[in-house]
Amino acid sequence: MSPLPLPAPASTPSTPSTTPASPVRSPATARLVHRAAALLPLLMIGVWAAVDWHSVRGGTARLASADPWWLLLAVLFTCLGWVAAACVRQGAIPDRLPPGLLLASQFAAGAANHVLPGSVGAHAVTLRFLQGRGIPLTRAGASIALYSLVKPIAKVPVLLVFVLAFPGMLELGELVPDDGTLLLAAGCVVLGPAAAALLVTAVRPLRRPALALVRTTLTDARLLHTRPSRVLALWGGAAVAPVLQACVLASVGASLGLPLSWAQVVFVFLAAGTAVGAVPAPGGIGPVDAALVFAMTAFGAPLGLATATVIGYRVLTVWLPLIPGTLVLSALVQRKVL
């Protein structure tokens, strides 16, 4: 007699795989990355200080013998410049931003702006700040685009006011660029937008984000110009900001005994910034400095005194706020405001 077949063993449910679908960053790694991001600005400032140490030492030595009251006035104008920048940032976006954090972000953006060329550092800090306030990336980018467009446009009527108020300043033929320089400037103005349009047309993945950015910018610009407070903050702040920077230069010149009037120094600053401000140097350092020295010597200032004035201006607007600005930047990163 054959044995009865044994029943098949009951099937057991398969155990799920313990391998994670995607790697998960540990809290320790996240903290390490966050601290590295907070210390990165300090590292970049240290490298830049080592490269440009001679200018810092020379400018500080010059300022040690300057009139302290004029220097105090220059510091006041420097602080007002950050307030003007915060006003322009607020005027470029319909959303209400917290004033204290906005001012702190612009103070930190000033430090980042002197590390990366073409205002990339300042725009990156502002972009992170706006995203931290819950503003979508497209609208934050539109705000930066509007800010970048308004600043050079608002400077032109201010320069025209100085030309009409002091027509004798245009009699200096040395300040008028030659035909080659004018042709190069015109070519840059034309080729810049043309190259951007060609890039967007040729690279298909860029078309949709670019068109969305343009549409958002136009929509927000129309909305902002229906609010008088935003119009005043946007255009008023953009017009006042370069004048405040020029007043810093004029105050430093007065502290050193520069034989130029206040109006001449302001005109020199506006003209030099308009002529070579588009050169992508960190914080405009380099091309703008050379243009300022050249323009002041054309007005009759001694070369050494004009150079000392520009170096002193850079010490007050760049080096003195650089360390505290970098510390504020690191603190904002550490607190996840940026």
Q: 52 pairs with which residues across the strands?
A: none
pLDDT at 245: 92
pLDDT at 173: 47
Q: What angle do CA 294, 85, 325 make, to 5 degrees?
A: 85
pLDDT at 247: 94
pLDDT at 281: 47
What is the pTM (predicted TM-score) of this model?
A: 0.73
**Strand ranges (E), 216-295:** none
Q: What residues of the chain score a pLDDT lower than 70?
A: 1-62, 114-118, 168-204, 206-207, 274-287
What is the largest distance, in Å, between two alpha-carbon atoms of the chain? 128
pLDDT at 331: 86
* Alpha carbon distance 85, 234 (integer Å): 9
**pLDDT tens digits, one per residue of 259-270:** 988 888 988 888
Query: Do 48 and 322 meet the contact criterion of CB atoms below 8 Å apart?
Result: no
pLDDT at 11: 47
Residues counted in the chain: 338
pLDDT at 19: 43
pLDDT at 249: 93
pLDDT at 14: 46
Kindly list the distances between the CA atom of residue 196 and the CA atoms of 185, 189, 202, in Å, as whole numbers in the listed order: 17, 12, 10
Cβ neighbours for 84, distance < 8 A, ≥ 6 positions apart: 237, 240, 241, 244
Please enumerate, as own/partner, the contacts of 283-292 that have beta carbons within 8 Å and a separation of 24 or more. 283/113, 283/114, 283/318, 285/114, 285/314, 285/318, 289/314, 292/249, 292/268
Cβ neighbours for 177, distance < 8 A, ≥ 6 positions apart: 185, 275
pLDDT at 109: 87
pLDDT at 53: 60
pLDDT at 21: 44
* Alpha carbon distance 2, 289 (integer Å): 106
pLDDT at 115: 63
